Structure 1
Amino acid sequence: MSKSASRARLADIIRTRSFGRGEITLASGRKSDFYFNLKPTMLDPEGAALLAELTYETLRDEKVDYVGGLEMGAVPLAGAIAQLSWLKNHPISAFFVRKKPKEHGARLSVEGLAKGESLAGKRCVIVEDVTTTGGSAIKAVEAVKESGAEIVLVLTMVDREEGATEAFAAAGLPFRSLYKASEFLNV
C-alpha cells in the first residue's frame, strides 16, 4: 500500500474507531465538543500496523535510538514502532514514562530499559496519541531529559491544534503530527 493510501486508510480507522462528537473534558482541563480516543485505533490490528508504519516512515531518516512517551497513550504506539523497526532491520528501542513513579520496586520514572541500560546520550523521540496543549508530552520530555537523553522530536498522531505547536516551539522542541484535528472536523 502506498504511503498516501496507508494514510487515508488510517484516517478512516481513526474516524470510525477513535473520533467522536459530544462534550468532554480533556486532559488539559479544557472542554471540547469533539474528542479523539486513539486507544481503539492503537489496539486494533490494522490501526496499530498503520500507525507504526507511518510513524516509522517519519522517523526512518532520523538517527533515533529510542521512542517512547507518557503512559498510557504512548505505550501501545512505542511498542508497535519498536516491533516494526526490528522487522525493517533498523531497530529503535522503546520505553515509557510513568505519570508518577511506583511507590514500590525500583521506583522508576522511565520504564522499559533493561538493568544497566540508560537513555544517557541517546537520541529519543517522544510520541503521543493525541496532543492538545503539549503538557503531557512535555512531562515525558522532562523525565527523559533528566535521564540524560537528547530529544530529537515530539511526534503526535493527532494534533488538536490548540496550542501544542506554540508550546513546543517555546520549549525549543521540534514537533510534528501525522494528522491535524481539522482533517477530521472538516469532513
Structure 2
Amino acid sequence: MPLPQFPTPEQARDELIGIVTSLSYVTGTELRLASGQTSSYYFNMKPTMLDARGAFLIGLLILDRIEPMQVSLVGGLEMGAVPLATAVAAVSAAKGEPVSAFFVRKQAKDHGTQSLIEGLAKDETMEQRRVVILEDVTTTGGSALKAVETVRAAGAEVAAVITVLDRQEGAGAVFTKAGVPFHALMTKADIVGAA
C-alpha cells in the first residue's frame, strides 16, 4: 500500500497556524491561564488538537522535529499532551517510522497499577528511554516541567520539550535552566500579530 502524500513542514505549519487562528484563538475577555496569570487572549488548543486535519498536521510537524533526536516515546502531562502524543504515534505509524506514546498523570490513581506514567506495555519501563515531552500551549513551562521531572525520576532521558504554541512568557528560560531543549511549532506572534 503506497504511503499518502504529506505536505512539507512549511506547508503544514502555515496550514496549522490558520487552523489555530480559526478554532483555538479567543480574544476580548480576561481569562485565567493554567499558570495563574490572566490574559485578554487565550489559546484553547483542544478544538485544534481534536480536529482531524489539525491533529494530523500537529503529528506531522512534531514528528519532523523529533526525527533527528532518535526518541522512542513521546508524551506529557494529562490532559493536553494526550491528543498530541496520540497524533504523533498515528502519523509515525502511517509514515512507517513508529514512535509510541505515553502520558503522565497529575496524580496516581488509588487503584489498578497506581502508576504516574501510563501507556507503557506491561513489561516496559522508562529506564534509559529517550523521550520528548509534549505540550499544547506553554506559558511559564510549569506543566511540562512537572512531566520532565516525573519521567526523569522514572529513569528516562528527556531529549526536548515541544509545544504547539509558545506564549513567549518565559518558558524558554525555565527549560534552559532545567537542561532541556525547548521547541515551539509556533508562537503567539504568529497568531496575535496576524489576527
- TM-aligned CA deviation for residue 31 of structure 1: 0.6
SS in 2 for 1:8: helix
Cα offsets for 1:46-72 (capped at 9, x unmatched): 000011111111111211110000000
Tell me the distance in 2 between the aligned counterparts of 1:158 and 1:79.
18
- TM-aligned CA deviation for residue 183 of structure 1: 1.2
Answering whether residue 79 of structure 2 is matched by residue 86 of structure 1, we say: no
Tell me the distance in 2 between the aligned counterparts of 1:106 and 1:147.
15
SS in 2 for 1:60: helix
Alignment of 1:34-183 (within 5 A): 34-183=41-190
Cα offsets for 1:82-131 (capped at 9, x unmatched): 11112222211100000111111111100011111111001000000000
- TM-aligned CA deviation for residue 5 of structure 1: 1.8
> Which residue number in structure 2 is paired with residue 8 of structure 1?
14
- TM-aligned CA deviation for residue 144 of structure 1: 0.5
- TM-aligned CA deviation for residue 3 of structure 1: 2.2
Tell me the distance in 2 between the aligned counterparts of 1:148 and 1:49.
30
SS in 2 for 1:81: helix
Percent identity between the two aligned chains: 49
> Which residue number in structure 2 is paired with residue 20 of structure 1?
26
Unaligned runs of 5+ residues in structure 1 are: none
The TM-score normalised by the length of structure 2 is 0.94
- TM-aligned CA deviation for residue 41 of structure 1: 0.4
> Which residue number in structure 1 is paired with residue 3 of structure 2?
none
- TM-aligned CA deviation for residue 2 of structure 1: 2.7
Counterpart amino acid of residue 37 in structure 1 = N
- TM-aligned CA deviation for residue 81 of structure 1: 0.3
Tell me the distance in 2 between the aligned counterparts of 1:125 and 1:82.
12
Counterpart amino acid of residue 185 in structure 1 = V
Counterpart amino acid of residue 152 in structure 1 = A
- TM-aligned CA deviation for residue 171 of structure 1: 1.0
Unaligned runs of 5+ residues in structure 2 are: 1-6
> Which residue number in structure 1 is paired with residue 36 of structure 2?
29
Counterpart amino acid of residue 6 in structure 1 = A
SS in 2 for 1:133: coil
Cα offsets for 1:35-54 (capped at 9, x unmatched): 11111001000000011111
Aligned-residue RMSD, C-alpha:
0.8
